[in-house]
Amino acid sequence: MNNLTFPILRLLADGRFQSGEDIARHFGVTRATVWNAIQEAEALGVEIFSVRGRGYRLPQPIKLLEYESVLHAIGDQRAWFTLELHDHLESTNSYLMKKAATGAPHATCVAASLQTKGRGRRGRSWQSGLGASLTFSLLWRFQSGASALSGLSLAVGVALMRALHDIGIKQAQLKWPNDILCDYRKLAGILIELQGDMEGPSAAVIGIGLNLHLPEHVQKHIEQAAVDMHSLARQPIDPSTLLGTLLKHLALVLNEFETQGFEHLREEWMRHHAYQQQQVRMLLPDGREMLGVVNGIAPDGVLLVETANGLQRFSAGEISLRGVHP
């Protein structure tokens, strides 16, 4: 990566025009070098307006993550975390999975201002962009084995709910097993990947993508209804405050999950359940669809659905849930 690309993007973060000449003078390089760095940013999917005679600017002002502000927002639990902020990563989960395998400490958090190959479940992709989303992963090590972690993605959902409600996004709801919706549009997704034995100890890499301000060119790649914080919050939300608040609640909920299990968090999960007692479509991996009415979730986190064949249990790998809108 061109060493100047991100320093230039930081200079452009206020959304105002900067001439190529001024940028070149600022960094003590030629205008051709600036042009190359801008080309590289565009190749990474960053939208930059370039106007002859005026220079370069971003479509809108953006806020980038700041180390101290994240720690400040975590509060009392800040000493638990090892925090890494990156300008660019292809996938925070892939990066942290590798680090976890070579001994990265418990509670390592890796965030990227720009994630270019974000992943969803079963090979799906997560769309993000510079200033468009908060993308980070958290490594959590458990004494127990992977077999005891079946409710983990639901527990993470509870942590996100507490954090979003804390910063005033009261309309946030949960979609089983691991999405955050507002008004049935997706605000955030969770991807959990596990390492270790079924019997323990084990490690979970918890990846979270949360939309901040989705520009049109990112939104057009998302084939389901999406929403961002910009359209939900009354005032701009600083990504560092958001990340710190999320980490604080994740730490508390993950400790509750480890000591008391998902059963202890189940009632809270159900209070935020977007599809409780609603008709849904269930998409099966082989392309078939089933209809049913959601009855709730069991203490182990499986979804209970009333279908034509009676009450059925579905685990997270088996189906994708979709609402049936009139």
Q: From residue 24, how far is each of 109, 215, 286 by CA, in Å?
A: 34, 28, 55
Q: Looking at 58, 179, 250, 312, which residue binds ligand ATP (CB under 6 A)?
A: 179
CB of 193 to ligand ATP, least distance (A): 12
Contact 210, 242 (CB under 8 A): yes
Q: Which is nearer to ligand ATP, 4 or 282 (CB)?
A: 282
Q: From residue 147, how far is each of 5, 59, 280 by CA, in Å?
A: 44, 47, 28
Residue 320 found at the interface with ligand ATP (CB under 6 A): yes
Closest listed residue to residue 243, CA positions, set 83, 100, 12, 76: 83
CA max distance for the chain: 71
Q: Which is nearer to ligand ATP, 127 or 137 (CB)?
A: 127
Tokens 């106007």, residue located? 51
Q: Which is nearer to ligand ATP, 91 or 178 (CB)?
A: 178
Pair of tokens at residue 51: 């106007």
Phi-psi category of residue 123: left, alpha or beta, with phi > 0 → left and psi -120 to 50 → alpha: left
Tokens 């060493």, residue located? 3
Q: Looking at 6, 56, 81, 126, which residue binds ligand ATP (CB under 6 A)?
A: 126
Tell me the HSE value of 238 on the side-chain side, using a 13 A CA sphere: 12
CB of 255 to ligand ATP, least distance (A): 25
Residue 186 found at the interface with ligand ATP (CB under 6 A): yes
Q: Which is nearer to ligand ATP, 19 or 116 (CB)?
A: 116
Binding part of the chain for ligand ATP, among 8-16, 30-38, 95-103, 178-186 by CB under 6 A, reads: 178-186
Residue 223 found at the interface with ligand ATP (CB under 6 A): yes
Helix, coil or strand: residue 326: coil
What is the rounded distance in angstroms from the CA atom of residue 7 to the CA atom of residue 15?
Answer: 14
Q: Which is nearer to ligand ATP, 33 or 93 (CB)?
A: 93
Strand duo 108-115 + 82-89: pairing: parallel
Residue 127 found at the interface with ligand ATP (CB under 6 A): yes
Binding part of the chain for ligand ATP, among 77-85, 103-111, 219-227, 229-237 by CB under 6 A, reads: 219-227
Q: How many residues bind ligand ATP (CB under 6 A)?
A: 19
Binding part of the chain for ligand ATP, among 54-62, 96-104, 196-204, 218-226 by CB under 6 A, reads: 218-226
What is the rounded distance in angstroms from the CA atom of residue 241 to the CA atom of residue 239?
Answer: 5
CB of 53 to ligand ATP, least distance (A): 35
Binding part of the chain for ligand ATP, among 5-13, 18-26, 118-126, 301-309 by CB under 6 A, reads: 118-126
Pair of tokens at residue 22: 């001024």
Beta bridge partners of 185: 182
Name the residues that contact ligand ATP, by CB under 6 A: 120-121, 124, 126-128, 133, 178-179, 186, 189, 209, 211, 222-224, 226, 320-321
